[in-house]
Chains A and B, each alone.
Chain A
Amino acid sequence: MSQLHHEQRRDTAEARPRPDARQSHTNSPVLAVLLVLPAVVLLTLFLLWPIVTAVQYSFTGASGFGDADPVGMANYERALTDGAFWGALGRNVVFALIVTAASLAIGFVLAYLLFLRVRGWRGLQVLLMVPYILPVVVTALLWKFMMEPHGGLFNSALRAIGLDALANPWLSSPSTALGSVSLVQVWQITPFAMLLIFGAMIAIPTEVIEAADLDGAGHATKMLRIVLPIVRPAMILTAIVIAIGLFRSFDLIYLLTQGGPINSTTISTLYIYVQGFVNNNYGYANAAGVLVGVFLVALAVIPRIAQRTQRRRAEHAEGTE
């Protein structure tokens, strides 16, 4: 038995490649290049090349009709001094703040309801996902129909209950259009927020909730003092993902208002689209796009840097103690 065991161990040792041989095999630069080549080619073609092309065009006066005279930094200078560009970016910030805050708040409450396993919670979970699953075109048509100024559901309902004065051309009035578009976007994106927050909630150990129950904590206390702090990191991540998505969003607003009326819903993507494909300022549109891209990268990176700095400080503080 012992002899057999010894031989088996020897066979295994012989079958196993020697550490030196394995190291020299994986150290082969040719193999390494071959392994990474497909990924590099794909990334270059579909990620790097479009970015390089966009940057390249941003230094030209291209109209999109085949001309591309170099204009140096003129497009960037124009964008940085263009009130309409900053207006669109500012509107985008307001839009992102409203939608992110509202979708997180509503998403958190809905996730908590699911977390409580209220009666029919499984069906509710599916139902609540419907706005997120619907194609954007369907969502836009649905809400456009409901907000139609003359026979739409909103105004008809208001008139039916005698609130004629509140009836409004929701999507065609400069004072209500951005709010209306934000409402539709909140309706569409909230299930996504709910899903991510709910995912964080179900990871909470049951002992924590049971302990709170034993201490006599009510629903509001549990929700705000126990669950909310635990899922806060997930909510921050969700907020960043949603906010970045809102700076990239185009389809819903385009379908609802096309950026009007009087540019009241023209966010950065629509502004870039109009410059590039309506006004034929293709080079300028690329410059504006590059600036928005830099802004978005900053939006994605700064929270991570802040988080890392905070963690290092905490570690440093623990070390000094």
Chain B
Amino acid sequence: MFQRTRRPLAAAIGVATAVALLTGCSGDTPSDGQNDGPLITDPAEVTGDITFATWWAYANQDLIDGFTEMYPNVNVELQFTAVDSYPTKIQAAASSGSLPDVFAAQNVTLFGLQKAGQLYDMQEALGTAPADGSAASWGDAFVPALLAGANSGMDTSGGEVWGVPFNAISVAAIYNKDAYDKAGVTPPTTFGELLSTCTALRGAGYIPLSLTGKVWSTWWTSLAWDQTMRDDKAADFSIDNPNYIKGFELVKDMADAGCWDESQISTDIDAESSLFLQQRTATFVSVPENFLQTVADGADFTLGTYVVPALGGVTPNHTLGGGNANVIVISADSDNKSAAVAFAKYLTSEAVATRLAGEAFTIPSIQIAAVSSSPLMTAYIDATANGFTDPASNLPANTPEGLLKLQNEILPGLILGTLTPEQAAQASADIWQQ
């Protein structure tokens, strides 16, 4: 009997499998969100509920309460998730069609969402009035390079704006003054001094610089290319460009001067923070915000900060365009775009930027004077004095996989000496969108 029933059962399963395969995936295609009528900007008329997801600890309920005072008919639900699991949460929400109305995104998550049609085009919204301040429009309020950075790597051929920068990020060096004194060195101001500082600190038994190989190592090539490729155009990019190869050479010079340990090619932010707080590493090169807060709270030695010298020593360095680090986006499927846009405007308003700069280690992404909340922030603000790099001007944007390849394969190979600068350049052929 079971012999007889096995075949029909197997056949039924086979048919079900084939049907499932042939019909393709049945995931809902997100709507483009463009046909939901004009945006309502009058606070009295904007109503309804929206959700806001983020990993930024300082974007807390107090901040949201400030918005509901301005928009009393809008209820904002805060969904906070730790940074480690945040991308997975957003990916799952996107797959199931339940993205928050307004949320934070960056890098590959941002690119993936845009490619999948999950983001609302804020082009129209940027033409409307800002939440406060004197800018003619919301779009004009932003630092242009940061707004460009927030949309770098995504298809903006029709003038689309997929995200806006929340806070700017600059890179500076936090150093252990005791270690520098012991090694008899002072903060370097030129690239040559940076190399000799590395040698001196190494001689005093310290690891001179953090690398944060798993996360931030690509900063060094970006800082180098900002100088060596300043006169180049992204449209003419070639991996054989000597200025491009020169960027790899500068990083190689730093590795040869002993600025980093072999083990640092695999370090994450926690590991580098620990090495610094344990006084094994003399300098922690970091962005501000909670990272600076962590070492400021944990250090039992004298701290100082300085602007990272211009690599190559040719021109003043621009600050790395932190515009694509803290990006606010709106879901294409949001049922309440007017409230979502109003909330995004509020988050990037002068009032919020000023308040956060005073309370937390943040730098505004809008065109207002930066306020230093601590002496440690001085270098981060000074680092912005020469403006931000526009990632799209000198180099094509990275592909999402390309950034990972640069970080996990090419730069480690360069630092460990298994790749020459020329070989590193050749190996990087597929990391750029061309």
Contacts and interface: CB of A to CB of B under 8 A. Distances in A.
Interface of A: 26-27, 29, 32-33, 36, 40, 44, 48, 52-53, 55-57, 59-60, 62-68, 70, 149-150, 169, 171-174, 257-258, 260-263, 274, 277-281
Given A52-B21, A63-B115, A262 B400 contact: no
17 contacts: A29-B1, A44-B13, A52-B21, A56-B24, A63-B112, A64-B91, A65-B113, A65-B116, A66-B117, A68-B27, A70-B24, A149-B263, A150-B263, A169-B262, A260-B214, A261-B266, A261-B412
Contact of A174 (B24, B27, B116, B416): B416
Interface in B74-121: 87-88, 91, 94-97, 108-109, 111-113, 115-118
B9 A40 contact: yes
B386 interface: no
Contacts of A262: 265, 408-409, 412-413, 416, 418
Contacts of A150: 263, 275, 280
Contact of A65 (B95, B213, B280): B95
B25 A57 contact: yes
Nearest to B412: A262
A172 B217 CA distance: 15
Given A65-B91, A67-B116, A278-B404, 11 more contacts: A26-B1, A36-B5, A62-B25, A65-B94, A66-B28, A66-B94, A66-B118, A68-B24, A262-B412, A262-B418, A280-B400
Contacts of A33: 5
A48 B266 contact: no
Contact of B408 (A27, A60, A68, A260): A260
Name which of A60, A174, A263 has the most chain B CB atoms within 10 A of its CB: A174
Contacts of A32: 1-2, 5
Given A33-B5, A56-B21, A65-B91, A171 B115 contact: no
Contacts of A44: 13
A273 to B, nearest CB: 11
B33 interface: no
A279 B17 CA distance: 28
Contacts of B267: 172
Q: Please give me the 6 A-B residue pairs with the lowest Cβ-Cβ distance, nearest first.
A: A169-B263, A65-B116, A68-B25, A67-B116, A65-B94, A172-B266
B5 A280 contact: no
Given A55-B21, A263-B409, A66 B88 contact: no
Given A169-B261, A262-B265, A67 B214 contact: no
A171 B91 contact: no
Contacts of A68: 24-25, 27
B335 interface: no
Nearest to B333: A66
A280 B25 contact: no
A294 to B, nearest CB: 15
B267 to A, nearest CB: 8
Given A64-B91, A66-B28, A68-B27, A278 B108 contact: yes
Contacts of B416: 174, 262
A63 B275 CA distance: 36
Nearest to B281: A150
B345 to A, nearest CB: 25
A245 B268 CA distance: 28
